[in-house]
Structures are given as structure tokens and as C-alpha cells.
Amino acid sequence: MATSTDPLIERPVSRRRFIAFLVAGPTLIAAARLERPAAASAAGVPTSQPVDEYDLSDLLNDAAAPTANLIRVVIEKDGSVSFAMPRAEVGQGITTAAAMIIADELDVPLSQINITLADAEPQLVFNQLTGGSNTIHSIYDPLRAAAAAARGALLQAAALYLNQPVSQLSTAGGAVLSSLGQTVSYATLSTKAAVSKNTLVKPNLKPHSAQQLVGTPQRRIDALAAVTGTKVFAMDITPPGALPTMVCRAPTLNGSARSLNNEAEILAMPGVTDVAVIPHSAHINGGVAVRAATFGQCIDAIRAMQVDWAPGTAEGMYASDVESQLIKSELPMTPALGDTIDERFVFNFRPGDPLETNCAVAVVTKDSAEIWSSLKAPIWAQEKIASLLGMQVSQVTCHVTQGGGSFGRHLFADAAFESAVIAQKMGKPVKLMWHRADNFRQGRVHPMCTSRVRMTYSGKNIIAFDQRHTSVATDFSHGLGEILSAYAATLPDANSLGYSQSIFLLTACSPYNFGPTTQLLEEVYPYDKFNTSSVRNIYSPDVRTAGELMVDKMAALQGVDRYQFRRDYARDARMVAVLDKVAEAADWGRTMAPGTAQGIGVHREYKGYAACVVEIDCTPRTVNRVIPNGYGGPRVTKVTFVVDVGLPINPLGLQAQMMGGSMDGIAQALSYSLHLEDGYFLEASWDDTAYTRQWNTPPDVNVIVMPPTTNEPGGAGELGVAASMAATAGAYWKATGIFPTRFPINYAEPLWFTPYPTVPPIPASPTTEYASVIAQEQADKAAGRRAEREKHAHHTTRHAHHSAKRKDH
């Protein structure tokens, strides 16, 4: 992977100004907040959209502005620096970026900085929401200001201590140095610099040219914990008495448990301590909860339960019903004023699952509750849990744990809510974990949608671009992360009118000069009919894939190269720059073998620009690969990705996010989905949902980070998905001659898996006579007969699966 970090000579000056505080405490504590940003100037491009002046990043920043003063940097007595980050780390690398920012401003080695995740703090109000790829964008300036204020206070304290003027002092390596060669460590100064009363200060921020870490590739600060198995996730936390707990869930989406008919039998099962019926409600999936000594015994108990179920929210529905409703609800196009190309694209439901399933630990007593979970909107969770339990907010503590991925899933606190209610009902602490089958079938999904795109042209000129996006409602009932806006989102029509429309308008964009451009969203169904969430980059991957395929089509119609066409209509220089870079790095236009092709996609969002070129292999040899219990299909063999986020903080982390986003883009274009049939999703395992696996992975990935173009770090967590998904879809067209309009492309193929039954709702874990298998393996290995035996084993398994197809119940 290549990294480019050459500084750009002229950068726009940030519009933010800073103030900071020294906060009363036993050691030095510095805090900072943002002033409300001034209105941005118009972008001054011929095709103007709301997103040009004010995008989702700005909305979240403005929401954060009034209370951001609680971003606090603490100099500990040992000289280390602590920052309790009011955000959720779910793999996106924000703790590492924050540590780099602090280390630079304070002249402290990275290893001496401890970043933890802050508990829910209601006084932060809106400023504890991790979403919209906004974290670094929103905390970059205040974090620098706080760290700079701390550095200033340390210098002042050192000046007194050494009896030297500040002008003769400098900082390096966690210490203050004097021009006379004296050194005094931050450890020594940490208490001397402490203040007894809050004090307003003007921090002296370092210029970008003096930053030593920001802009350089740095490895993750939590990597050692991850590779040694010591990184602590929610299910690794065990308060006394918190036993494994799972829930037997309904056979159809959002069905509600009426009663457990064999409670005595279940309670008598090995390890089982408690059962409780948990009715379904808007934010609690519910069913019959069981607590046991081990999760394995919970699974056994769930499989033995006889439950009366009330119908769910999508009873009898198929994906085709949803599609009909979407098409019926599509907003009309205005009459075209020229020739047109016009297509409708269908994007099916797809999971929002991280690898860690929904989970939470809850200890609930008569007058207090303590919850541990990966929460991206912890204040909302805390407030809602208080109301669910009939407590005051101050009686509820919400700890934000490290998340095993999120992809939008943890904006909601499904497991936290459920765990609190179960713990209260059972009167005992619980470690609640969802089974994978439940996570796919009852968990939050990317809403199914259609996107109709019409491009109007007159000869060689594109004169209008119109897009009508119609989607199953996206649940925004987490609001802006606290209960007032969350409540507002549940009012009739408010979810759609207040939130979905705003988010759509603030994110949707067509980055081209195609003349008058309209992009409109219409939603169908109430927000809680399907369980949805802003799955990684919510609207953009579909909006942009539809748009980019039409751009490819128009380029073909005009007889112009796809890259050149994009360049000709690009709206600004940053987009041209990423396009040119990706074309060069990917050797765009090189001769490709039959059945293989290149594809290109661009995207602009979160103050950043992305361009991607993929190469795809759709030859029969590749498409027809036999993958035991898995989906092979076309393979993207190479990804070249160029990203400009304005000011890159950690290029190595950015590359990781673009690489991961590309795996998402590939999966969403080609294979990753949920099939809605008869009121439930068929998929219950990773083999079924066909997310990108190693055999789908490009063996060649090159992510190029552009040098800084602004003083503001843009978002990264979601930026990689849209361009790579669009590029993959376009490459597929070029390689096969089949213009894809339904996604993922394999959706209508015969199922490659046998759906698991819905009763019992979760499959048994496989068992085998393991000792003999292991003995056999070792004997085989010694005898080198393995390959032969595997072939045979595979053959019999496939046969068994086919004969068992849909032999449910």
C-alpha cells in the first residue's frame, strides 16, 4: 500500500476559533469546546445541492458544539495522559487517532497516552453520538485545544519551578526542557500545574507543520491486546453473579411471545436458573429469556422451549411484496426536456451484523442499574433504560465497551435495553448475548430500497440528472443520541420527515456537473415494521451505485471512456485529483482478458473524496468455483482506491478503513443479502448471508491516501463503501455484458444454502466424536492422505445437505 503525506502549501484556514479551560482537580486537567461554527460559504459550483454548503458532518458538529467543553485531557501523576473519549471504538481506529492528536500537541510519546471510552454522561447531551463518520471531524479541534492548553499550563508551572521565563522553555518527550539544559518531567509538573478553580485560557495550538505524528502512518494502540486475545469486549466482562442469558425468539420477524408452555421442564434442564417471558416492543425484540451456567446450556434450553407466539410485523411477506410497495410509492419525475436514459435499480435487504453479536451485561438492583455494552448513543441508552426500569437517570450507569464491529448496528442499544429488562425481571445479573441466527433474522438490517435514475441529454450535453430513491423506512429513533430528539423521531411521520429526509439531503450527492439535479427520498412502512438502522453509509452506497452505473451507461452511449467522462463532468478539483490518481495507479484502460474487466466509481461525502478502480473476474472458471457451504461467484481480483479526506490523521488507519469499506462494497454489489420469505429472513449463518470471505477477496489491494487538501479531517468509517460498490457493479457490466439492476447481483440465483428451521429458532451447535476425529486427522497428516479424504468428505456432506433441504420442524 502506498502512502502519500506531502504537505500541501496552501490550505484553507479552518473557520473555527478556540477557547479552552483549565479545570479544577488534583492534577492538571484541560478542557476545550468549540464555538459554534460560522455559516459556511457557498461552494460556488454550477450544480448546487444542499450538501454543498452544509452536510451531515456539519449537522453533527453543530449538535455537538454547545457542550463540547467536556472533552477533557488529564495529566496523571505518573506523567501519562488520559482521555476518556465520549465516542465508541468499534474498530474504526478513533482511539489511535485521538492518541496521535494528543501526543503531537503535548509532546508526549504515544505509549504514554491512555484512551478509554467514557461512560454515558447526560450532560454531554448531543455530543456522545458515534455516527456519520463524524468522530475525528468533530473532536479534532477541541482535542488539540485541550491538549495545547495543558501544554501551556505545564510550561507555566515549569517556569515557576525552574525560575525561567516561558520563552526559554520547550517541551519534548513528556518533559519541559530549558535552554540551560534542565529537564522536568510532566509527572513532576502534573500536580504543580493543577488549578483549584476553573480558568479560561487561550491555547496556543501548534501549526500543522510542527505536528510530528498527525499525517504519519501509525499502528493501532489496541493491536497488541487484539492479537493476544486480551482486548476486553462486553462478553469478557463478568460482574459477580452475571450468568449467560439468551432469548428464544419468534419464528417470524418481530413476533411476540405469549407464553412458555413447558416452563417446569426448561427450569429442570442442566445449568438453567431462570426463565422470563419478554414481550416484543419497539426497542426490545423479546421472546423467552433463559439464564444458565453456560451459553451452551441456554442454547439447549431454547431449543427445548414450547412457546406460543403472536404474529410479527411482516407476517406472510416476501421481498417481492416490499418491492411492489416501493415501486408504487416512488415519487414521480418531472417531464424530461430532452432524450433520456432511465433505469430503476433494486437493492435488497442486507444484514448490519458485526462479528460480535448484540450483547450486554446488566446488573440491576432495586435502586440502581449498571450496564456494559458497545453503545454509540450511550446517553439515549441510559435515559431509555431508566424509563424502562422506572428509575431516575442518575440511578443508571452505562459503560461503553470496546465493540467487535458495528457498521451502524450499535447506534441502537437493543441488547442493552433487553438485558436491563431481563435482569430486572429475573432479579439477577445477566450476560445477555444474541445468537447469530437471531442477529441475522431479528436484528437490524439495511433497508430494502429502489433507486430510479434518469439522465437527460441533448446531443453531447447532459442537461439534467434526476434520482428517485424509495426505501423501507430507516429507523432513526436513536435521534441525535439523547431521549428528546429520539422521542421526536418516533412521533407520527417525524422519523421520515424529520430525520430520514434530513440525513438523505445531507448525504446524497451527485458529484457531477449534470445541470439541474434532483435527488428525492420517499419512505414506505412505519419505522418499526422492519428492524433497520443506518447500516454503514446508509443511503450512499445504493444511491451512488445506481448513479454511477447510469454514468457508465451514458459514457457508453456517448462513446466516451468511463474515466474520461467522469473527469469531464467532475464538479471540482479534488474530485479530478482522485480520479486522475486512481486511473494512473490502477493502469486504467489496460487490456483485459475476456470475461474480466475494470470498473470505476467515485464518491464525495463527509468532507472527503474517494475514487476506486476494481478489476473483476467473471470467467466461468472463477464463477463456477465450488466453495463448500459457501458462495463463490465473480471475484474482484484487484482494488485500487484513492482517498482524500482533507487532513488525514493516520494514513495507515485510513487505508484500513478504505480496505474494509471495499470488502463491504464488493459484498453488497455481488453477494451479501437477506431473503425475506413468508415473514422472516432465510439467512441464519455467515455462510448463508455470503459476506466477503477470503475466496472473494482481491489478492491485490492498493489504497492511496492523498496529501492534505484542507485543515479539517473528514470522515473515514463509511467513505470506502459507495465508490467500491459502484466500481464493482460497473466492472461486472463490462465483463459480462449484463447490465446489473438488482443487488446483490446473485440475489435471484438458486439458494446456495439450505435455510435453517425457524422452530426452534436457533440451530444446535455441531457435535462429533472429536477425539477420534483428531486422532484420525493426525494419522492422515502423517500419512499425507488428507487431500483425498477431504474430497470424499465434501461430497458426502453436500449430498446430505441436498437431501435435507428445507426439511424443517
Q: Which of residues 119-178 bind another protein (CB under 8 A)?
A: none
Q: Which of residues 290-319 bind another protein (CB under 8 A)?
A: 293-297, 299-300
Q: Least distance to another protein from the beta carbon of 782, Å?
A: 9
Q: DSSP labels for 420-446?
A: HHHHHHHTS-EEEE--HHHHHHTS-EE
767 binds another protein (CB under 8 A): yes
Q: Least distance to another protein from the beta carbon of 378, Å?
A: 18
The contact mask relative to another protein for 638-667 (x = CB under 8 A, - = no) is --------------xx--x--xxxxxx---
Residue entry with cell 519534548: 172
799 binds another protein (CB under 8 A): no
Find the part of the chain contacting another protein (CB under 8 A) among 42-50, 187-195, 404-412, 545-553. Answer: 404-412
Number of residues located near another protein, criterion CB under 8 A: 100
Cβ–Cβ < 8 Å for 696, 370: no
Find the part of the chain contacting another protein (CB under 8 A) among 42-50, 89-97, 132-140, 151-159. Answer: 89-97
Residue entry with cell 441510559: 382
691 binds another protein (CB under 8 A): yes
Of the two residues 434 and 514, which places its CB atom closer to another protein in the complex?
434
Q: Cβ–Cβ contacts within 10 Å for residue 215, how many?
A: 23
**How far is C-alpha 306 from the geometric centre of its chain's CA atoms?**
37
Cβ–Cβ < 8 Å for 341, 454: yes
Cβ–Cβ < 8 Å for 459, 511: no
Q: Which of residues 420-479 bind another protein (CB under 8 A)?
A: 433, 435-436
Find the part of the chain contacting another protein (CB under 8 A) among 9-17, 486-494, 506-514, 757-765. Answer: 757-765
Q: Least distance to another protein from the beta carbon of 21, Å?
A: 34
Buried b (16+ CB within 10 A) or exposed e, 519-529: bbbbbbbbbbb
- In the list 11, 192, 231, 344, the residue contacting another protein (rule: CB under 8 A) is 231
- In the list 11, 208, 344, 693, the residue contacting another protein (rule: CB under 8 A) is 693
Of the two residues 637 and 711, which places its CB atom closer to another protein in the complex?
637
- In the list 166, 210, 773, 783, the residue contacting another protein (rule: CB under 8 A) is 773
Cβ–Cβ < 8 Å for 193, 187: no
Q: How far apart are CA 105 and CA 185, in angstroms?
A: 16
Of the two residues 217 and 526, which places its CB atom closer to another protein in the complex?
217
Q: Which of residues 265-294 bind another protein (CB under 8 A)?
A: 270-271, 293-294
419 binds another protein (CB under 8 A): no
Of the two residues 689 and 710, which places its CB atom closer to another protein in the complex?
689
Of the two residues 76 and 687, which places its CB atom closer to another protein in the complex?
687
Of the two residues 422 and 663, which places its CB atom closer to another protein in the complex?
663
809 binds another protein (CB under 8 A): no
529 binds another protein (CB under 8 A): no
784 binds another protein (CB under 8 A): yes
687 binds another protein (CB under 8 A): yes
55: which 3 cell numbers?
A: 452536510
Q: Cβ–Cβ contacts within 10 Å for residue 678, how many?
A: 13
Within 442-586, residue ranges assigned H as helices are 483-490, 494, 501-507, 540-558, 562-569, 573-585
Q: Least distance to another protein from the beta carbon of 283, Å?
A: 24
Q: How far apart are CA 792 and CA 528, in angstroms?
A: 47
Of the two residues 372 and 407, which places its CB atom closer to another protein in the complex?
407
- In the list 210, 225, 282, 738, the residue contacting another protein (rule: CB under 8 A) is 225
Cβ–Cβ < 8 Å for 73, 81: yes
Find the part of the chain contacting another protein (CB under 8 A) among 333-341, 550-558, 622-630, 641-649. Answer: 622-630
Contacts of 737 (CB under 8 A, 6+ apart): none
771 binds another protein (CB under 8 A): yes
Our CA angle for 491, 495, 500, nearest 5°, is 165
Cβ–Cβ < 8 Å for 348, 448: yes
Q: Least distance to another protein from the beta carbon of 290, Å?
A: 14
Q: Least distance to another protein from the beta carbon of 648, Å?
A: 15
5 binds another protein (CB under 8 A): no
Of the two residues 238 and 387, which places its CB atom closer to another protein in the complex?
238
Q: How far apart are CA 345 and CA 604, in angstroms?
A: 21
- In the list 698, 714, 715, 730, the residue contacting another protein (rule: CB under 8 A) is 698
Of the two residues 67 and 754, which places its CB atom closer to another protein in the complex?
754
Of the two residues 511 and 541, which places its CB atom closer to another protein in the complex?
541
Q: Which of residues 327-346 bind another protein (CB under 8 A)?
A: none
In angstroms and rounded to an integer, the radius of gyration of the C-alpha atoms of the chain is 28
Closest CA relative to residue 485, chosen from 401, 400, 391, 411: 411
Q: Least distance to another protein from the beta carbon of 655, Å?
A: 9
Of the two residues 354 and 679, which places its CB atom closer to another protein in the complex?
354
Q: How far apart are CA 221 and CA 229, in angstroms?
A: 14
Closest CA relative to residue 607, chosen from 662, 636, 644, 639: 644
Of the two residues 203 and 352, which places its CB atom closer to another protein in the complex?
352
615 binds another protein (CB under 8 A): no
Q: How far apart are CA 758 and CA 438, in angstroms?
A: 10
505 binds another protein (CB under 8 A): no
699 binds another protein (CB under 8 A): yes
* φ/ψ of residue 417, rounded to 5: -60, -50
- In the list 121, 236, 561, 568, the residue contacting another protein (rule: CB under 8 A) is 236
- In the list 58, 105, 107, 222, the residue contacting another protein (rule: CB under 8 A) is 222
Q: Least distance to another protein from the beta carbon of 423, Å?
A: 17
Find the part of the chain contacting another protein (CB under 8 A) among 111-119, 326-334, 484-492, 790-798. Answer: 790-798
- In the list 353, 414, 548, 552, the residue contacting another protein (rule: CB under 8 A) is 353
Q: Least distance to another protein from the beta carbon of 155, Å?
A: 34
153: which 3 cell numbers?
A: 499550563
Q: Which of residues 736-755 bind another protein (CB under 8 A)?
A: 754
Q: DSSP labels for 80-133?
A: -EEEEESS--SSS-HHHHHHHHHHHHHT--GGGEEEEEPPP-GGGTTTT---TT
Q: How far apart are CA 575 and CA 598, in angstroms?
A: 19
- In the list 235, 260, 575, 654, the residue contacting another protein (rule: CB under 8 A) is 235
Closest CA relative to residue 433, chosen from 296, 304, 306, 309: 296
Beta strand 243-248 with 430-433: parallel, antiparallel or unpaired?
parallel
803 binds another protein (CB under 8 A): no
Q: DSSP labels for 465-502?
A: EEEEEEEEPP--TTTTSSHHHHHHHHSTTHIIIIIIHH
593 binds another protein (CB under 8 A): no
Of the two residues 142 and 408, which places its CB atom closer to another protein in the complex?
408
Contacts of 726 (CB under 8 A, 6+ apart): 541, 544, 545, 547, 548, 549, 599, 601, 602, 603, 612, 665
- In the list 230, 334, 387, 458, the residue contacting another protein (rule: CB under 8 A) is 230
Q: Which of residues 48-77 bind another protein (CB under 8 A)?
A: none
